[in-house]
Amino acid sequence: MEIERPYYMNQLLRRQNNGRIKIITGIRRCGKSYLLFHLFRNYLISQGVEKDRIIELALDELANARLRNPFELDAWIRKQIRPYSGKYYIFIDEIQFSTEEKNPYVGEGTVTFVDTLLGLMKIPGVDIYVTGSNSRMLSTDILTQFRDRGDEIHLNPLTFSEFYEATPDKLHALRDYSNFGGMPYLLSLTTPEEKSDYLKFLFRETYIRDVVERNHLKNDEEVLDILLDFISSAIGSFTNPAKLENRFRSEQKISVSHTTIAQYLKYFEESYLIRSARRFDVKGSRYFSTPLKYYFTDIGLRNARLNFRQVEQTHIMENMIFNELTAAGYNVDIGVVPVRQRDPDNPDIRRSRQLEIDFIVNRGTGRCYIQSALNMDNREKQEQETASLRNVNDSFRKIVILGNDILPWHDENGIFYVGFQDFLLKGLSGI
């Protein structure tokens, strides 16, 4: 089955032959290799590029272990190229497997894949594309070394609209996606048992193993497992390392410092398994450093982590909306609106409280506010869900996404209501 990913293909095509290194990032098994080695490669061939002009290498394969050394990698690629003989396209998969080696020619210093890529860039006619599954390869230090010569293209698992186009079962598409998520290989599986087993295998043999091996945590696998369970059960809720430290102590009788927990959460974010969202004070125009909300990059992975026991739609819906917005390139925060309200027991007294907006969505100078609500059965529920939006005094769009299927409409306050599936299929720009 051919899964077209036009959003990402267009990003590659806009950057083709621009003299910069194209770096495709994203969680493992989300389709980076498919995008580069299948879709983009086939496009190049269709445009008349000869196959021997496309140099392909997968560093996560054992057969290529020697080439993880940046010196060996450089020598191997240069052997494939005839200088000044036309255009060459270099594809390197999972570049984070490349090692850091001592520079044998000077007393101090090391050589990394960055040095290799920057050297290859200087060969006339070379266009370089690499993929990576860990954001540490794009740390501040490495980006500085690239000297503004790299373009990042971040790939996500299939969005619902991509999944919907690819699945033959349109009627149950939202149900299946809400349960099993958008990892592309799932489309080749048929039964719920096969899908569940695949997602659990990814966690056990790919994601956790990657975090353990990359960060040398072989004695801490139990803590990592428990921490993932905590985060999985807390999507849509504010938390921080100190709260998680208390949970370890009270629920598991394990002592883990909040600094260690913060570091492990960073490892999960670096592997693109989870994302964090900060709180933003709408009226004060400032960020709070803590607590945060964490969301899974793929909702199916989150559900598999909990053995599909916690499939409550409120939090799943919120996670899916967050993923849809970030996949579309928006910056997403959690909104806080300070208000003063009358005390219901003493109307003469006004008390300060904070109302939450599920998402503040920004791109460039544009902004909108989004509230996620499974349903609004009555006027009281509607007033409760929209209170935060009604207390924002600006002209940006205010949207409520409802879990049930509805005809889109505006209320008297200018708030727009849209159904969950409509939003997922059309995106923020289409509603």
Residue with tokens 């592997």: 271
The amino acid that residue 152 corresponds to is: E
Domains of the chain: 6-154 (3.40.50.300), 160-275+298-305 (no CATH)
Band (353; pLDDT cuts 50, 70, 90): confident
Q: Tell me the pLDDT band of 176, cut-offs 50, 70 and 90.
A: very high
What pLDDT is stored for residue 144 in this prediction?
Answer: 62
Percent of the chain at pLDDT above 90?
81
- CB burial of 102-124 (b: ≥16 within 10 Å; e: otherwise) equals eeeeeeeeebbbbbbbbebbeee
CA distances from 410 to 190, 372, 380, 415 (A): 40, 16, 17, 5
**Residues 232, 291: Cα–Cα separation, whole Å:** 16
Could you tell me the pTM of the whole model? 0.92
pLDDT tens-digit series, residues 68-105: 999 999 999 999 998 778 999 999 999 989 999 999 98
Q: What percent of the chain has pLDDT over 70?
A: 97
By the 8 A CB rule, do 205 and 60 touch?
Answer: no
Q: What is the per-residue pLDDT across 254-275, written as a single tens digit (0 to 9) for each? A: 999 999 999 999 999 999 999 9
Residues 6+ apart with CB under 8 A from 365: none
Predicted confidence at residue 240, as pLDDT, reads: 95
**CA geometry: angle at 181 spanning 178 and 185, to 5°?**
145
pLDDT of residue 298: 98
Give per-residue pLDDT as tens, 285-337: 899 988 999 999 999 999 999 999 877 789 999 999 999 999 999 999 999 99
Specify the higher pLDDT residue, 397 or 214: 397
Greater confidence (401 vs 339) lies with 401
Count CB-CB contacts under 10 A for residue 51: 9
Using DSSP bridges, classify how beta strands 397-402 and 366-373 pair: parallel, antiparallel or unpaired: parallel
Mean pLDDT of the chain: 93
| CA dihedral for 200, 135, 220, 66, sign (positive or negative) | positive
